Chain A
Amino acid sequence: MSRLRYQLLEHRGTLLAAAVFAALFLVYISNYATGLNAAVATTVANKGVLLAIVAMAQTLPILTAGLDLSVGMVFVLANCLASELVVGGPLQTAFGIVVVLGAGLACGLLNGLIIVYGRLQPIITTLATGAIYYGLALWLRPVPGGDINSDLADAVTGQLPGGIPAMLAVLMAVVLLVWVPFRNSVTGRAALAIGSSETAAYMSGIPIARVKIVTYALSGLLAAIAGLLLTFVTYSGEASSSIGGTYTLNSIAAVVIGGTSLMGGYGSAIGSIFGAFALRTIGDLLFVLDLDPLWQPLFQGMILLVAVSLSALRLLKIRNRLDLFS
């Protein structure tokens, strides 16, 4: 087989997710009254990018066969912090951004440290730390409010010259500055190796503890970036547990639609981005098709089920039935 075919095989999840999104988006936009213009694109981008970046955050632990239930809460915590700190002049704003992102990194780092050195299950660890992060957010901002550097917010949620949504440029930058280096670094490779077979990774001499910690820390950083962007969209902060919970669960759904295996070892954050946009478009689709929005969870659920079924097809090939459980 040629190298091209192997590359196609490697990226089949991402390509499939991109195709699903393209199809949904095409239906959406052809039913939208004004068709595609800069304003519509910006609205879509502003809504989609937030979930896309949270889904990227979720992708990293899942690649190592873990899970991060705290991404949504880190997202909310960063939102509350930003509504407090990202104000005033350029210098103060920059400082605020650094603190917000640093806080996200710290949250992720704590997750990683507990999982690695406490030898606890990622799912329960992050459920607990997520509650703590939400508690902090609530303590910071008991009632919705706060402020944000509105010049910056307008710029980020507006359009670049040529009508390109600025939010998409931010997403691009996050991909290029976080995901691409991670994917091509030894650490990123090692994260995939751990997800593929932790025993084999250990036997190959991979520093498992360090790699996992870095992976969870980066996950926290990404969630905080999304939280910062949320502040730019809403111009305020809100410690909402329903936002946190929804984003966490939708991020997992987006990762799965994006073709990443929940068993670890296979997948890509790019796929998760398309997964997130596809998930968002389903909601919008019901709106333009004039269906009752009450149908939204049902349709999202069905799409998710189809996506998961596709990834279960490999089980049909298993010859030793005991392997089904391992």
Chain B
Amino acid sequence: MMRAGALAPVSFGSCSAILGARFMQAVSGPVLETIGVSKRFGGVQALSNVDFACRSGRIHALLGENGAGKSTLIKIIAGVVQRDAGRMLLGGEEVVFATPREASAAGIGCIFQELSLMPHLSVADNICITDPPRRWGFIDGRAQRHIAADALARAGAEDINPSAPVSSLPLSRRQMVEIAKSLARDPKLLILDEATSALTAADVTRVFKVLKRLREEGLAIIYISHRMSEIAELADDCSVFRNGQHVATFPAGTKSNTEVVEMMIGREYSHAFPPKPKRDLRGVQPALETRGLSWESALRDVSIAVRPGEILGLGGLDGQGQMEMLLALFGALSGVGGETLVEGRPVTLASPQSAKACGIGIALIPEDRKTDGLMLPMSVRDNLTFAALDSISTAGIVSSRAENAAVADMVKLLGIRMGAADDAVGTLSGGNQQKVVIAKWLLNKPGIILLNDPTRGIDVATKQELYQLLRRLADEGAAIILYSTDYYELIGCCDRVAVFYDGQIVRLLEGDQITERALIASALNISTADQGDVLLGEASL
């Protein structure tokens, strides 16, 4: 990669020999254009009035923090979700895609993370799934293997056997199959959504070669990645999204890292957070400590400690190992390497049951309350007491008096708004459901509370109540680990934030260091340094 002068922006990623040809293509109309596209999910405006265009022969990178609207935009382009308003033009013609099938037929190839492979089927079956070669109406296995081998070669993965079942391949190879599958359909527009996050470095190099070749062949490519170094190497154009809006599009290399981060910042936010107490916890024995925790490729040598009275945030972009970290601490993963200590004593967490019972008790408030947290058709009362039946029963018989008292306590403590304790929990609002999930675990009086993005999809008022509650629990001596995809929450709630990147903690921010700029920069694993003059193109150096 080119090293630029300290201040002058520099262009990169383009080869001057083909610049002329690409320029010619760029002059013709865009391959795909969206005009005023909007999308709303429930109460959240995921996209508002987005104008976006990408051209053939160019790689267009999309940038933005979690929930900025990048994924929603490409889902609309790929026919996975339907837009509420606006128009979409493909090659100048207005198009509406009701299903991924229609988008695919129109020449839009989409590569998600492992979403579109069928594990039991062979590589060749997968690559040719939509339109296999046929003889007399039947699938021609031999021709199909040839097509698959060609597509794999195009993707630079000749080593994969087309007859192998996908389930026998490691994750990085599957991702290569996914790429080959898209190429086999000869798309006009290729979309890669974090397609390289599961790849090994060698695979990434090969994929980049392929992408550059496809660009020369005149393909339009939309590329989403959180790895700034990849964007610097590949992209011709960059578009920044923020809060569902398209903020800016600029040629790659014309903005510094700092400018890009500034563009990504700036969401309106008006949440009231309780004040953080100033406490010196150094020297206090950690309630929970990990030493060199590792699991598969998702966690690599993670060491953290959280003390009673402290809220430790887990930051970073989605899917960098934060969720696995919480699951590992809650005993839901097997084969976890490293050491976990509760109150200084090494423990083995073999199941959620053992985590719950271990020492001062661990509780996990799961991400998806509808599947992992609640039994929706059962009553509020049953849900509340389910994880703590031991404490309200004697000799295996639940005492209904103790149960009612416990339920009343919790309803009051958390301010759960409901009709009666006998109502099905599914009839409550999202915010109140989340309160039930939390209350259910508080009944156990856990000393360590793990929360997996607890405020996702709940209303502002309830969010504020939850922030107050977390701080109160910490003040009462609980050690809290909070994973949130919302940077403001980390800033407002946490005493310290461990920022994850690629299964590792890349930065531990404390006190005043916890700023949005620091969070985004560490989430992207780039340094904005103090002078703010590091260029985008140098991210990987």
Contacts and interface: CB of A to CB of B under 8 A. Distances in A.
Interface of A: 1, 3, 6-7, 9-10, 181, 184-186, 189-190, 192-193, 195-197, 199-207, 261, 265-266, 318-322
28 contacts: A3-B161, A6-B122, A6-B161, A9-B165, A10-B122, A185-B137, A185-B138, A186-B132, A186-B134, A186-B139, A189-B121, A192-B121, A193-B118, A196-B120, A203-B80, A203-B115, A204-B116, A204-B181, A205-B102, A205-B103, A206-B101, A206-B130, A265-B119, A266-B120, A319-B296, A319-B333, A321-B332, A322-B327
B335 interface: yes
Contacts of B351: 321
B130 A197 contact: no
Interface string B91-129: 000000001111111000010100111111110010001
Contacts of A197: 117-119
Q: Chain B's interface: helix, strand, loop or mixed, by majority? A: loop
Given A189-B125, A205-B99, A195 B161 contact: no
Contacts of B327: 320, 322
B200 interface: no
Nearest to A202: B100
Given A184-B138, A206-B130, A196 B105 contact: no
Given A319-B333, A319-B335, A199 B295 contact: no
A135 B477 CA distance: 66
Nearest to B328: A320
Contacts of A9: 165, 168
B334 interface: yes
Interface residues of B, number: 42
A184 B143 CA distance: 13
Contacts of B334: 318-321
A181 B134 CA distance: 12
Contacts of B398: none
Given A200-B116, A322-B372, 14 more contacts: A1-B161, A9-B165, A9-B168, A184-B139, A197-B117, A197-B119, A203-B116, A204-B181, A205-B102, A206-B101, A206-B129, A265-B118, A266-B120, A319-B335
Interface of B: 80, 99-105, 110, 112, 115-122, 125, 129-130, 132, 134, 137-139, 161, 163-165, 168, 181, 295-296, 327, 331-335, 351, 372
A205 B163 contact: no
A203 B112 CA distance: 10
A265 B129 CA distance: 14
Given A6-B122, A196-B120, A205 B115 contact: no
A247 B365 CA distance: 46
A205 B103 CA distance: 9
Given A319-B334, A321-B332, A321-B334, A10 B117 contact: no
Contacts of A1: 161, 164
Given A192-B121, A196-B120, A204 B164 contact: no
B218 to A, nearest CB: 23
Q: Which 10 A-B pairs have the closest CB atoms?
A: A205-B101, A196-B118, A265-B120, A196-B120, A184-B138, A203-B116, A6-B163, A205-B104, A266-B120, A3-B163
A189 B163 contact: no
Contacts of A184: 138-139
A55 B195 CA distance: 42
A257 to B, nearest CB: 19
A186 B475 CA distance: 62
A72 to B, nearest CB: 27
A200 B119 CA distance: 9
A184 B136 CA distance: 11
A200 B139 contact: no
Given A189-B129, A319-B333, A321-B332, A200 B117 contact: yes
